[in-house]
């Protein structure tokens, strides 16, 4: 990694700190400076707290990149009616190729939970929930214990925290479906508006953040907005945890500043350390199952930031990078993704319920070129008319593939069925 993009580990703890303290010990809290983050937050008025979030420029790290301060202000403003309010940490990390929240919660749960405590104070939440992916069951007790450590540090009583385990549905990571799940209902996305900040969990104003967003909030309060913005780009301050997998030498979770060239993430000594067995890069699927395929040429040009990626029709999404070598069949990958969405559609709305299955079937039976028109036609209906992000983006990766014939024209006949 070039020196200009080398960052000290912030979201992930320094190895020295890891060696000196257990992940949920009071010592860790101090070594990470989180006691200071809490003290600073508790020393501020809530108005000042929201200003701090705004100044730090944190964008949501769950995929939508929505400014955190806008959410805070909206939940705060919902106070007028004096209603109960909730804070929720979305730890239902289920996006294929994404595993950074798991690493964060396993190695340093105090960081995001400090962020959660601060956020709860900032919006005046009466109770907080952690919605934890069911497969992360091993993190349930650590999260509860970490909350006790945070509680023991703040000057006044901290509000109750409840951890809820997901039941294995991808869609439950969608924020309103997640609320339904906590409420004991079927995890189906709700119509927005009303947005969660106005009518969220149990129909009350709710602040919901991804684990990594809350970790960033803890850092912003520890260091102050100015120092926080030292890394990253002007429009997207801070660092990002990327989950990189596929044909690289060192798959894993790495912390990078926004704006870093994609190639540096793939090739960097501190990061993925280049392609396996020296094979040539064919493409990167950027942002998860609903992400975008970038060709090797595009990868060479792209910087890891929202405005820069927009040029390629791509986005950062959940921070997943799946790297494909030249021998990988991307139509087969598209098929796998289609299977995934057909499996994970909740079934509520027509375009997604039936559309995801039809996409899957068409990819099974025909080559991409044969049904290209129908695929595009159906994708448009799904994108325009599905209720939630799942259906709207279920064909994003496929469409990005269709738009880059170089990635499939040479193995166009690899699709199953009629050739």
Partner 1 sequence: MEIEESRQLTIDGEVCQVPAGTTLREACLQVGKEIPALCWHERLTPANTCRACVVELEGSRTLVSSCSRMVEDGMVVHTDTPRVLHARKGVAELLLSTMMDDVNAPELQKLAQATEADPAHFRVGETLVQPIRDDNDLYVRDYSQCILCYRCVAVCGEDAQNTFAIHVAGRGLQAHIDTGFDRSLPDSDCVFCGNCVQVCPTGALIGKTEWSLRQENEWDEKKIQVTETTCSYCGVGCSLDLHVLNGRIVKVTSPYNHPVTQGMLCVKGRYGYEYVQADVAHLQGS
Report the interface residues with partner 1, using CB under 8 A. 169, 171, 186, 188, 191, 193, 342-351, 353-358, 361-362, 364-365, 374, 377-378, 380-387, 392
CB of 366 to partner 1, least distance (A): 8
CA distance 266 to 245: 10
Phi-psi region of 290 (alpha: psi -120 to 50; beta: other; left: phi over 0): alpha
Are the C-beta atoms of residues 129 and 78 closer than 8 Å to each other? Answer: no
Q: Cβ closer to partner 1: 4 or 380?
A: 380
CB of 189 to partner 1, least distance (A): 10
CB of 368 to partner 1, least distance (A): 15
Of 173, 109, 170, 95, the residue nearest 138 (C-alpha): 109
Q: Cβ closer to partner 1: 138 or 185?
A: 185
CB of 95 to partner 1, least distance (A): 17
Q: Cβ closer to partner 1: 244 or 342?
A: 342
CB of 244 to partner 1, least distance (A): 29
CA contacts within 13 A on the Cβ side of 383: 13
CA distance 220 to 69: 12
Q: Cβ closer to partner 1: 225 or 357?
A: 357
CB of 3 to partner 1, least distance (A): 39
CB of 257 to partner 1, least distance (A): 28
Q: Cβ closer to partner 1: 147 or 366?
A: 366
Of 351, 361, 357, 359, the residue nearest 382 (C-alpha): 351
What residue has token string 């049904």?
Answer: 371
CA distance 330 to 412: 10
Q: Cβ closer to partner 1: 25 or 74?
A: 74
Are the C-beta atoms of residues 251 and 284 closer than 8 Å to each other? Answer: no
CA distance 253 to 270: 11
Residues 6+ apart with CB under 8 A from 400: 291, 292, 293, 294, 313, 314
Strands 281-286 and 161-165: unpaired
CB of 88 to partner 1, least distance (A): 22
Q: Cβ closer to partner 1: 226 or 347?
A: 347
Are the C-beta atoms of residues 108 and 12 closer than 8 Å to each other? Answer: yes
CB of 90 to partner 1, least distance (A): 20
CB of 298 to partner 1, least distance (A): 23
Q: Give the DSSP letter string of 260-278.
A: -BHHHHHH-TTTT-SBGGG
Q: Cβ closer to partner 1: 307 or 347?
A: 347
* Stated length of the chain: 419
CA distance 132 to 319: 19
CA distance 241 to 271: 11
Helices (H) and strands (E) in the chain, counts: 19, 9
Q: Cβ closer to partner 1: 125 or 378?
A: 378
Cα-flanking dihedrals φ and ψ of residue 168, to 5°? 105, 10
Q: Can you read off the two tokens belonging to residue 253?
A: 């979770």
Q: Cβ closer to partner 1: 292 or 345?
A: 345
Strands 292-295 and 206-210: unpaired
């Amino acid at each position: 990694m070039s020196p200009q993009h080398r960052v000290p580990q912030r979201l992930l703890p320094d190895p020295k700190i890891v060696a000196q303290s257990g992940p949920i010990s009071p010592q860790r809290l101090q070594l990470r400076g989180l006691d200071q983050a809490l003290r600073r937050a508790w020393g501020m008025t809530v108005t000042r707290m929201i200003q701090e979030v705004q100044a730090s420029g944190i964008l949501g790290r769950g995929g939508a990149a929505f400014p955190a301060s806008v959410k805070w202000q909206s939940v705060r403003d919902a106070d007028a009616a004096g209603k109960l309010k909730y804070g929720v940490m979305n730890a239902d990390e289920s996006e294929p190729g994404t595993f950074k929240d798991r690493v964060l919660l396993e190695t340093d749960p105090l960081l995001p939970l400090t962020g959660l405590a601060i956020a709860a104070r900032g919006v005046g939440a009466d109770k907080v929930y952690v919605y934890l992916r069911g497969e992360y069951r091993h993190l349930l007790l650590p999260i509860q214990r970490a909350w006790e450590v945070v509680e023991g540090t703040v000057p006044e009583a901290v509000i109750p925290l409840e951890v809820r385990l997901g039941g294995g549905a991808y869609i439950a990571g969608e924020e309103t479906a997640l609320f339904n799940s906590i409420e004991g209902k079927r995890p189906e996305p709700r119509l927005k508006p009303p947005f969660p900040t106005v009518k969220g969990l149990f129909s009350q104003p709710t602040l919901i953040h991804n684990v990594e967003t809350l970790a960033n909030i803890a850092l912003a309060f520890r260091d102050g907005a100015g120092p926080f913005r030292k890394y990253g780009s002007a429009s997207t301050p801070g660092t990002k945890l990327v989950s990189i997998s596929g044909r690289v030498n060192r798959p894993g979770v790495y912390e990078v500043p926004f704006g870093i060239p994609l190639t540096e993430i793939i090739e960097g000594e501190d990061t993925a350390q280049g392609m396996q067995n020296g094979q040539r890069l064919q493409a990167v699927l950027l942002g998860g199952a609903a992400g975008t395929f970038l060709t090797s040429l595009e990868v060479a040009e792209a910087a890891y930031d929202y405005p820069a990626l927009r040029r390629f029709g791509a986005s950062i999404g959940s921070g997943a990078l799946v790297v494909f070598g030249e021998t990988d069949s991307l139509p087969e990958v598209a098929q796998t993704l289609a299977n995934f969405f057909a499996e994970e559609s909740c079934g509520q709305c027509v375009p997604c319920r039936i559309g995801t299955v039809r996409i899957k079937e068409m990819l099974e039976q025909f080559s991409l070129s044969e049904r290209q028109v129908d695929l595009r036609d159906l994708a448009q209906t799904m994108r325009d008319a599905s209720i939630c992000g799942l259906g709207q983006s279920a064909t994003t990766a496929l469409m990005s593939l269709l738009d880059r014939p170089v990635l499939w024209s040479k193995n166009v006949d690899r699709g199953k069925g009629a050739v």
